[in-house]
Amino acid sequence: MSSTLGIDFGTSNSAAGYVRGGAPVLIDLEAGAQTLPTAVFFDFDAKKMRVGERAAQALLSGEEGRYMRGLKSLLGTRLMRESRMLLGERLDFIDIVGRFLAEVRRRAEAATGETFDRALSGRPVQFHTADEARNAQALLDLTEAYTRAGFSDVRFLNEPEAAAIANRAVLEDGDLGLVVDIGGGTSDFTLFRQGQGGDIDILASHGVRIGGTDFDRRLSIAKVMPQLGMGSDIRHAFGNNTHVAPNAIFNDLATWQKIPFLYGPDTRRAARELAKFAVHPKRLARLEKLLEDELGHDLAFAVEAGKIMANDPAQTDPVIHVGMLKRGATLPLPAAFMHRKLTPLADQIGEAAEVTLSMGHVSAAEVNKLIFVGGSGLMQVVEDALRQRFPAAQMHRGAAMAAIVSGLAIRSATAFDDQP
């Protein structure tokens, strides 16, 4: 008999689970790990698509190929349906997400001996904040990716609602809880009340397209991109006038899901031209070299690692290691800088939490438990922005990375009960 697979398809990490013998089980998708980095690498030598940790290893060891991360952020954009030649096939990003999901399914089946024909997938409450047309398109894109992955049917559950289901034990009867799920691409909230006997009543769910990758982007633009010539002057080919280098390449280089688009001949030519006419050519020469060597993701990983380091209060001198720009070079990330750059984003996340309350017709003072899940819920600026708005609530951190997939696993058993 085939079962339903619960899948948390995340911007940065994915996970899967199902129900066995009446109990939810999380599946090891990597050796000894329940989370799988949402990343693929098209290995040009081996002519294979590598997934998860193996994709990251191939990138970091400098193998010839194309790495992609943050694919979820492309759902609902026109880039999803643009196709390109990869390993001798014409593929669009729906195919690529579909192949990633097919690999999740293959690994889940291999690890459990089950057959998973249907999927219960998590989804952000909003893929694109208030843009309803894009949100609808994103859901269509994701549904199609599940179909191309070979699932006969897929249903969706809001990610923070799955986390609420998994965290029932944290609440007592009558409690009013708010799930705060800050991931890689989005921040999602579910307001819920615990009823008699452990049942939960969902009062409102809401979300905003801000997550850890936006923190990465903001730090990269403020700290790293100027080192590559962002904001610097370019001479005109004729005459003495100058203009500021256009921002587009730098913005894309600071955005995980846009990096693979920078390695085409057009962008390289544009970078070469900028370097040629730059008033101070050294920085733009770094950009040209970085694109030539295809080190955009290595740089993005370095920024992310710097962010995590700077968020750790035990680190006295946090830095971004930018050896790919200049041997041994580092850029400091002092606490005041982190605070200044990231607090505006954290405040937008806090405001979205307040919108969730007004949707549920409750005040902040009534919420007595905040349940933090998702990797970026560990950011100090995020905690500060929420604590300030919910001074009376108790904070729970529980299983930060496992909550959503646990809720999906629990619900997977009944997700298709209305169907034969």
Ligand X SMILES: Nc1ncnc2c1ncn2[C@@H]1O[C@H](COP(=O)(O)OP(=O)(O)OP(=O)(O)O)[C@@H](O)[C@H]1O
Is the CB of 221 or the CB of 403 nearer to Mg ion? 403
CB 228 within 8 A of CB 252: no
> d(Cα 262, Cα 267) in Å, to the nearest integer?
6
> d(Cα 72, Cα 229) in Å, to the nearest integer?
29
**Both tokens assigned to 357:** 């309350």
Is residue 158 near ligand X by the rule CB under 6 A?
no
Using CB under 6 A as the criterion, what x/- string covers residues 34-53 for binding ligand X?
A: ----x---------------
Dihedral sign (CA 157, 159, 160, 164): positive
Is residue 144 near ligand X by the rule CB under 6 A?
no
Residue 395 binds which of ligand X, Mg ion, none (CB < 5-8 A, kind-dependent): none
Residue 24 binds which of Mg ion, ligand X, none (CB < 5-8 A, kind-dependent): none
Enumerate binding residues for Mg ion (CB under 5 A). 10, 183
Is residue 13 near ligand X by the rule CB under 6 A?
yes
Point out which span in 276-284, 321-329, 336-344, 370-378 binds ligand X (CB under 6 A): 370-378
The closest residue (CB) to Mg ion is 183
CB 43 within 8 A of CB 49: yes
Report DSSP state, residue 58: H
> d(Cα 86, Cα 65) in Å, to the nearest integer?
9
CB of 322 to Mg ion, least distance (A): 28
Is residue 205 near ligand X by the rule CB under 6 A?
no
CB of 184 to ligand X, least distance (A): 4
CB of 400 to ligand X, least distance (A): 7
Dihedral sign (CA 241, 244, 248, 253): positive
CB of 238 to ligand X, least distance (A): 45
Helix (H, G, I), strand (E, B) or coil at 372: strand
Q: Which residues pair with residue 3 across a beta bridge?
A: 116
CB of 356 to ligand X, least distance (A): 16
Is residue 318 near ligand X by the rule CB under 6 A?
no
CB of 83 to Mg ion, least distance (A): 28
Alpha helices by DSSP H, 278-325: 281-292, 296-311
> d(Cα 203, Cα 34) in Å, to the nearest integer?
30
Nearest Cα to Cα of residue 77 among 138, 121, 20, 34:
138
Residue 73 binds which of Mg ion, ligand X, none (CB < 5-8 A, kind-dependent): none
Instruction: Select from 52, 65, 177, 184 the one that contacts ligand X (CB under 6 A).
Output: 184
Residue 378 binds which of ligand X, Mg ion, none (CB < 5-8 A, kind-dependent): ligand X
